Amino acid sequence: MTAPIYELLDASEDVKSFLESGGVLRAYEFGLASDSPKKPYLVWQDISGTPQNNLDCPALVDHISIQFDVYAETPDDLLQIKNAVRRALEKDNSCTITGLRGNSRESDTKLYRTGFDTNWFVDR
């Protein structure tokens, strides 16, 4: 099963104020964004996943670890977007933030980047 990432982000007016234009939310699964997406934007990728197996039936829940990366043109936007995304994803305890990464600047694009890791328990 897939974590409801896009649905949670799309339900947040705060996130959409930063990442939506023309009715399109600039949040992409890793490798699915265009070669030069409009800025700012967000990408995510599964790091690992394991079924929560049962003895008497197939797994009913998957445990998934997902990495998020935010790209923005200014450090202030970067921080605001990261915080908005975190609030949206943590709503109703949908996921748990398990790791925070520092900020950096991409040498080729000059975009600022930050990220965090999450754990999800997703019904199958």
pLDDT value of position 1: 61
Q: 14 Cβ partners below 8 Å, 6+ apart?
A: 84, 87, 88
Contact 15, 21 (CB under 8 A): no
pLDDT value of position 10: 96
- What residues does each domain of the chain span? 5-33+41-123
Q: What are φ and ψ of residue 54, in 5° steps?
A: -120, 155
- CATH numeric code, 5-33+41-123: 3.30.2000
Q: 121 Cβ partners below 8 Å, 6+ apart?
A: 52, 61, 62, 63, 64
Q: Kindly report, residue by residue over 70-89, the tens digit of the pLDDT.
A: 999 999 999 999 999 999 99
Instruction: Between 1 and 42, name the one with better pLDDT.
Output: 42
Helix (H) / strand (E) containing 96: strand 95-105
pLDDT value of position 26: 97
pLDDT value of position 95: 93
Distance CA 26, CA 46 (A): 18
Residue-by-residue DSSP string for 39-81: SSEEEEEEEEEEE---SSSS-SEEEEEEEEEEEESSHHHHHHH
Instruction: Between 34 and 11, name the one with better pLDDT.
Output: 11
Q: How confident is the model at residue 35 (pLDDT cuts 50, 70, 90)?
A: confident
pLDDT of 119 strictly over 70: yes
